[in-house]
Structure 1
Amino acid sequence: MPKPLNSALVAGSVCVAIVAASALGITAFGLSTSGQTGPTRPEPEADQTTVTVRVWDDTVAAGYEKSFATFERDNPDIEVEVDVVPYDEYFTTLADDVEAGEADDIFWLNSSNYTDYADEGALFDIDRVLGRTSRAAWSPAVVDQFTTDDGHLWGVPQLSDGGIALYYNADLLKQAGIDPATLDELAWAPGGGEGDTLLPVLKKLTRDASGRTADDPAFDGTPVQYGYNAGDDLQAIWYDYLASAGGAFENDDSTAFAFDTEEARVAFQYVVDLVQQARVAPPAVLTNENADYSREQFVAGNMALFQSGLYSLAPVDAGADFEWGVAPMPAGPAGRISVTNGIVAAGNANTPHRDDTAKVLAWLGSTDGAKHIGADGAAVPAVLGAQEGYYDHWTTQGVDVRPFFDVIDDGPTIAAPTGIYGRTQSIIEPIFDRMFTGELSVADALAQAQSEANAALTGVPVARGGVTPPPADDDEALN
């Protein structure tokens, strides 16, 4: 196992940081997407009920398997099966299955994708099923995030993650003559102008097959070692750049998108230029197709800096065979600002096993039920009583998790996208993909994506290119 560098932890301060982070809404929504299923289970006995649980993360699924083994021992009439669906197809498949009445009894939801199901009556009302007093055991921020304006909670909080930080390959930094301690001072500036300390470092950390760095005039523009993981990654990259430029994604009441602004153009242009112009990050044609491509390159030793969240901690620890550590994410014109979000386990209101499903949900919301998530270091449980195990695991591994929490504790945050993004993601994402490949300019992509997404929310048709067509005259309207 590789030895991480950040090994000097102060037990009391970090433990407090984790609990405090939960109170502030520090949660994760983008986890491993490789989609490997758990171990094969024997067929249930004839008198058993099978309750299925759908998730999108392998490492948490492994913790669930251990957790459900205990649950099944105490509830021999219930078998629990974990179904892992890759994140890239998770919500499309879930929507189809819910509509067809074939969804799992319990399934994960994030903040962008729960309100429609709640509005359609497709979810358990957790307060009615488990009792409102159950809320006291869970991260208040995750509870608040999945409680609608009418006061109803629509899922059992599962994960409560920290903010975004930089994983670094110490060997590659040493080769470039960069002290890991200086990563704390990295900042980006519009267009790579005055005050930009990030781009020069990324160029020094990017090399072609001849060993030339990206700041060498002879650099051939085809890296074999990447400096960074810029790309169309909402949680880890562009959403945080948008916030640190002073921009917003939605309007104040989350009824429409508000990202076609100068701040957003500055932020997206900087990130796109890292890919298209500076060539310090992987080509978008690779990262658009494989959400885990950059993490795979980092773990393989082909990327020096990898910006991500706690959800990448277990895969990096398991796969990296070099010295690595964690540093704060780069700051922007408005400071160092990270996204926050959460994940819940929602009950399928149409399950034929309502009582047994409720028992499994209650188990997932208990300290004993959630402890394997934290104990294995897969993620920070949203069950408060299970969080200490997460801290203990990474202390033993010698990993300093403080940068993930400091970014939340020390400054403002940006809330994760709400349900309006879940309803329009299929519109926005392909346009942003084309922006990162260079098929669309940043200005055109933001204008088109906002116009078409807002039109979809209001039902107003939008012509190709994001321009609302004129109303038909009376004669045309009759045809």
Structure 2
Amino acid sequence: MLRSTRPGRTVAALAASAAALLAFSACASGSAAGDDGGDVTIDYAIWDQNQQPAMEEIAAAFTEEHPNVTIDIQLTPYKEYFTKLQTAVSGGAGPDVFWMNGPNFQLYASNGVLAPLDDEGIAASDYPQGLIDLYTYDGSLYGAPKDFDTVALWYNTELFDAAGVEYPSADWTWDDLKAAAAKLTDPAAGVYGIAATQYGQENYYDSIAQAGGEVVSADGTETGYGSPEALEGITLWTDLIEAGSSPTAQQMTDTSAEDFFLSGKAAMFQNGSWAAVAYAENPDIAEKVNVAPLAAGPEGNQSVIHGIGNVANAKSDELEIAKEFAAFASGEQAAKIQAETGTVIPAFNGTQQAWVDALPQYDLQVYIDALETAVPYPVSKNTAAWNAIESEILSQVWAGTLTPEDGLAQLADEMQAALDAESE
């Protein structure tokens, strides 16, 4: 799970981070101390409390197969996770196995922090190709895909019924989305048709792909923000705000965009698959919502695919066991444990149906079907550097202080400079 528009660090701070990781790569290598059969403890760092019970069950399953190995799960909230991780690995330490995401992956892999997993028997065919690509660097697989998330359109059935609007369907286009949002908007009641958030993964990364554009080239060297397709993908959302079908950027700053949906003040809200269990457990909306595929743009209804990878610390004192556990925690047995909890969609092919079945009240198959046309989450060697630029400029576009045309022209120039700096 990842919202790419979370305020990022500055380019200078990211340069310091990269330097710290480079310093780490020069540290002495660890040894596989557990190879003699003695008792071993592996630290496993995660960031999602909702997933901790499943991770504990996975750890217990590994210990059952390896009685001398104990897995110590270390939970750190996401907002602190990468700061803590950077500090630890820069000092030559850090957890033996830990969660990794796409935006940070190449920075860690390119600086020798991660151990390649090519010799762990991980079959690429067992996972969505987009995730294998996401966690491959310089020809080697460094992350074992643990789960994945795609994006779909959640809607409030009560608000649709009250307005006499048909529910979203698989053949919806952007025009249908905009027309429905207008009909569902009721200024007197303070109800909006949709919350047009400045979220990359959930909104404009998807619509840029649906318009035939890209945020960054597949090799991470060229920005796509200067294209007409990117502009079309951005203006889908800013036009909804301008039309009054969505709260303003300021309103969605004062009250989170998702809170508009949760409180029944927004009829539609695009969200990742992680939202399903949260909505099912929310008594205010659990029985009032359902989910449909994304509306199609000029080139289709593509969703971004992202997911967590299990990685092994290259400097772990228990490197061989750490690599084995990273692969195990993303394998079929672990995937089935995850699926039954309903918290995330497991990445291992053939195990996702249990996740769909865990919450039969919702049409969750749409998230699995989205794999057919999914596009990889946009990343480069130092993604966070241009994420910060992206967030700053697009916040002005969403607020209306910069036109989409001017904002994307500026973003394209500054993002390209950041990408060029990655190869220096």
Pairwise mapping of residues 282-297 of structure 1 onto structure 2 (< 5 A)? 282-285=247-250, 287=252, 293-297=256-260
Shift in Å, 1:140:
4.9
Shift in Å, 1:455:
1.2
Structure 1 pair 140–429 and aligned structure 2 pair: CA distance change class (3 A): same
Indicate the residue corresponding to 1:374 in structure 2.
339
Shift in Å, 1:287:
4.5
Indicate the residue corresponding to 1:433 in structure 2.
395
Indicate the residue corresponding to 2:122 in structure 1.
134
Pairwise mapping of residues 316-465 of structure 1 onto structure 2 (< 5 A)? 316-319=279-282, 320-384=285-349, 386-394=351-359, 397-409=360-372, 412-420=373-381, 421-459=383-421
**Are 2:98 and 1:107 equivalent residues in the alignment?**
yes
**Are 2:127 and 1:116 equivalent residues in the alignment?**
no
**Are 2:192 and 1:202 equivalent residues in the alignment?**
no
Corresponding residue to 1:80 among 66, 72, 76: 72
Residues 134-168 of structure 1: per-residue CA shift (max 9 Å, x gap): 32683151234322343x1101210134x322111
Shift in Å, 1:441:
2.3
Corresponding residue to 1:308 among 246, 271, 274: 271
**Per the alignment, in what secondary structure is the counterpart of residue 123 of structure 2?**
helix
- Asked whether the 8 Å contact 1:288–1:433 carries over to 2, the reply is no
Structure 1 pair 137–271 and aligned structure 2 pair: CA distance change class (3 A): closer
Residues 371-397 of structure 1: per-residue CA shift (max 9 Å, x gap): 221001112212236434324323xx3
- Asked whether the 8 Å contact 1:232–1:287 carries over to 2, the reply is no
- Asked whether the 8 Å contact 2:136–2:142 carries over to 1, the reply is yes
Which aligned segments of 4 or more residues in structure 1 are displaced greater than 6 angstroms?
none
- Asked whether the 8 Å contact 1:139–1:160 carries over to 2, the reply is no
Corresponding residue to 2:152 among 152, 160, 165: 165
- Asked whether the 8 Å contact 2:231–2:408 carries over to 1, the reply is yes
Structure 1 pair 229–89 and aligned structure 2 pair: CA distance change class (3 A): farther
Shift in Å, 1:331:
1.6
Corresponding residue to 1:271 among 227, 233, 237: 237
Gaps of 5+ in 2: 7-37
> In structure 2, what is the Cα distance between the partners aligned to 1:309 and 1:300?
18
User: Which protein shows a greater Rg?
Assistant: 1
Shift in Å, 1:282:
3.5
> In structure 2, what is the Cα distance between the partners aligned to 1:314 and 1:177?
28
Shift in Å, 1:354:
2.7
- Asked whether the 8 Å contact 1:78–1:356 carries over to 2, the reply is no
- Percent sequence identity is 28
> In structure 2, what is the Cα distance between the partners aligned to 1:387 and 1:422?
30
Indicate the residue corresponding to 2:142 in structure 1.
154
> In structure 1, what is the Cα distance between the partners aligned to 2:46 and 2:335?
14
Corresponding residue to 1:143 among 119, 132, 138: 132
Structure 1 pair 426–433 and aligned structure 2 pair: CA distance change class (3 A): same
**Are 2:156 and 1:177 equivalent residues in the alignment?**
no
Shift in Å, 1:55:
3.0
> In structure 2, what is the Cα distance between the partners aligned to 1:134 and 1:185?
37
- Asked whether the 8 Å contact 1:48–1:79 carries over to 2, the reply is no
> In structure 1, what is the Cα distance between the partners aligned to 2:229 and 2:385?
24
> In structure 2, what is the Cα distance between the partners aligned to 1:93 and 1:177?
50
Gaps of 5+ in 1: 1-27, 34-46, 189-195, 212-222, 461-479
The one-letter code of the counterpart of 1:443 is E
> In structure 2, what is the Cα distance between the partners aligned to 1:414 and 1:362?
24
Q: TM-score, normalised by structure 2?
A: 0.80
**Are 2:175 and 1:186 equivalent residues in the alignment?**
no
Structure 1 pair 200–327 and aligned structure 2 pair: CA distance change class (3 A): same
Shift in Å, 1:96:
4.2
Structure 1 pair 439–55 and aligned structure 2 pair: CA distance change class (3 A): farther
Aligned residues: 385
The one-letter code of the counterpart of 1:236 is E
Shift in Å, 1:72:
4.5
Corresponding residue to 1:257 among 223, 226, 246: 223
> In structure 2, what is the Cα distance between the partners aligned to 1:285 and 1:103?
39
Corresponding residue to 2:213 among 247, 255, 265: 247
The one-letter code of the counterpart of 1:274 is L
> In structure 2, what is the Cα distance between the partners aligned to 1:263 and 1:366?
38
Structure 1 pair 48–171 and aligned structure 2 pair: CA distance change class (3 A): farther
Shift in Å, 1:260:
1.4
**Are 2:219 and 1:230 equivalent residues in the alignment?**
no
> In structure 2, what is the Cα distance between the partners aligned to 1:351 and 1:403?
40
Residues 188-221 of structure 1: per-residue CA shift (max 9 Å, x gap): 2xxxxxxx3322311222333x32xxxxxxxxxx
The one-letter code of the counterpart of 1:197 is D
User: RMSD in angstroms over aligned alpha carbons?
Assistant: 3.0
The one-letter code of the counterpart of 1:202 is A
